[in-house]
């Protein structure tokens, strides 16, 4: 199967498997796993943050950050298609007792401007107004098609938020994709964020895990909440070893993923009934509208599955994600299969 559902489906590389088999391990709950410690130290150095914490999932990393930055009754401002709001099972309300205030980015990029954020702020409001406790950003923005936020844009929001003493958390699940697309560093893209989460198991290709970064005091408290949420693992160095390989080797492969995504998007733009602007495809996520094909996205994805291609339908759109296990030949095969799937009964105008 040509699996374009997500970059989470990658298999560990031979180098990762070797590192996992040979990993030096200890009990990480006691802070004694040397491989986990090396991973955390290396990640902190890359992002120029004081400390880092290895967590099982990106969602856990995000939710620990929400918990630590807020108090019950606060509001959290997030772009309305953000992962924390839509795909983390209302955990901000369940665990942190906070309310999400979703705000739509007017340009569709998924990246809010300060003016859009400012209109939703509750600062120095009457006591019965829910105060803004946190602003969450996302880079790349998943359901805005892998769009990227520049360092200057992020820094502007952080500086203005900090003037109100409001912290900023970056859901940087695919921040390395953003760095490659922008020709920048992950440290510069997140320099003023109070906390950052990124995934080892998405574009970087590791089998499991994410990293949460922040100040040393923040990470010390995050370790407590990781344990409370069931994320205190023991000989986790077996997993961290793959994460180290991913951090050291995988970023250099991301440009090829982006090129494959752009090649795919350009082909889709020529298909009858499909709508996408290839110029907006900057990283490895391709989302396209199929409402004019006279077929549902689910019908098209079912047809694709029969021809050996996997994609995700949602609403009137389909998402395809390129990754290190997908070759240009795979993309060409997927294009041919999609052309067949949408060609019959496609709208002519």
**Domains defined for the chain, CATH in brackets:** 10-250 (3.40.640.10), 253-343 (3.90.1150.10)
Give the H/E segment covering residue 211: strand 210-214
Smallest Cα–Cα separation from 316: which of 281, 342, 279? 342
Peptide bond preceding 279 in cis form (omega within 30 of 0): no
Q: How confident is the model at residue 345, as a pLDDT?
A: 56
Smallest Cα–Cα separation from 300: which of 329, 321, 271? 271
Q: How confident is the model at residue 344, as a pLDDT?
A: 67
* Secondary structure (DSSP) of 244-308: HHHHHHGGGGHHHHHHHHHHHHHHHHTSTT-B--GGG--SSEEEEE-GGGTS-HHHHHHHHHHTT
Structure-token match 């998402």, residue found = 319
Asked whether the beta carbons of 315 and 247 are under 8 A apart, the reply is no
Q: How confident is the model at residue 347, as a pLDDT?
A: 46
Smallest Cα–Cα separation from 260: which of 287, 286, 290, 297? 286
Q: How confident is the model at residue 349, as a pLDDT?
A: 41
Asked whether the beta carbons of 4 and 304 are under 8 A apart, the reply is no
Q: What is the pTM of this model?
A: 0.95
From first to last of its 349 residues, the chain has per-residue pLDDT tens of 999 999 999 999 999 999 999 999 999 999 999 999 999 999 999 999 999 999 999 999 999 999 999 999 999 999 999 999 999 999 999 999 999 999 999 999 999 999 999 999 999 888 888 999 999 999 999 999 999 999 999 999 999 999 999 999 999 999 999 999 999 999 999 999 999 999 999 999 999 999 999 999 999 999 999 999 999 999 999 999 999 999 999 999 999 999 999 999 999 999 999 999 999 999 999 999 999 999 999 999 999 999 999 999 999 999 999 999 999 999 999 999 999 999 865 444 4
Three-state secondary structure readout of 113-169: CHHHHHCCCCCCCCCCCCCEEEEEEECCEHHHCCECCCHHHHHHHHHHHHHCCCCEE
């Amino acid at each position: 199967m040509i699996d374009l559902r997500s970059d989470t489906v990658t298999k560990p590389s031979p180098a990762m498997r070797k590192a996992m088999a040979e990993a030096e391990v200890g009990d990480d709950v006691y802070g004694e796993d040397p491989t986990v410690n090396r991973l955390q130290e290396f990640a902190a150095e890359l992002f120029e943050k004081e400390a880092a914490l290895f967590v099982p999932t990106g969602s856990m990393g995000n939710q620990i950050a929400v918990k630590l930055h807020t108090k019950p009754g606060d509001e959290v401002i997030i772009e309305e298609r953000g992962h924390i709001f839509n795909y983390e099972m209302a955990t901000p309300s369940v665990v942190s007792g906070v309310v999400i205030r979703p705000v739509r980015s007017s340009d569709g990029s998924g990246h809010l401007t300060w003016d859009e954020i400012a209109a939703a702020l509750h600062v120095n409001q009457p006591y019965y107004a829910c105060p803004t406790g946190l602003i969450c950003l996302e880079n790349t923005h998943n359901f805005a098609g892998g769009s990227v936020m520049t360092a200057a844009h992020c820094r502007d929001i952080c500086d203005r938020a900090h003037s109100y003493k409001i912290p900023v958390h970056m859901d940087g699940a695919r921040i390395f994709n953003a760095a490659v697309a922008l020709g920048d560093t992950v440290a510069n893209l997140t320099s003023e964020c109070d906390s950052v989460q990124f995934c080892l198991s998405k574009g970087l290709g590791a089998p499991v895990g994410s990293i949460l970064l922040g100040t040393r005091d923040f990470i010390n408290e995050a370790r407590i909440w990781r344990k409370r949420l069931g994320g205190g693992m023991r000989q986790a160095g077996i997993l961290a070893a793959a994460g180290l390989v991913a951090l050291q080797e995988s970023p250099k492969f991301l440009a090829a993923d982006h090129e494959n995504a752009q090649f795919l998007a350009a082909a889709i733009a020529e298909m009858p009934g499909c709508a996408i602007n290839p110029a907006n495809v900057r990283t490895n996520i391709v989302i396209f509208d199929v409402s004019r094909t006279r077929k549902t996205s689910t019908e098209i994805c079912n047809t694709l599955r029969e021809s050996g291609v996997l994609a995700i339908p949602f609403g009137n759109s389909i998402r395809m994600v390129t990754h290190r296990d997908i070759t240009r030949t795979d993309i060409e095969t997927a294009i041919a299969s999609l052309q067949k799937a949408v060609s019959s009964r496609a709208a002519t105008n």
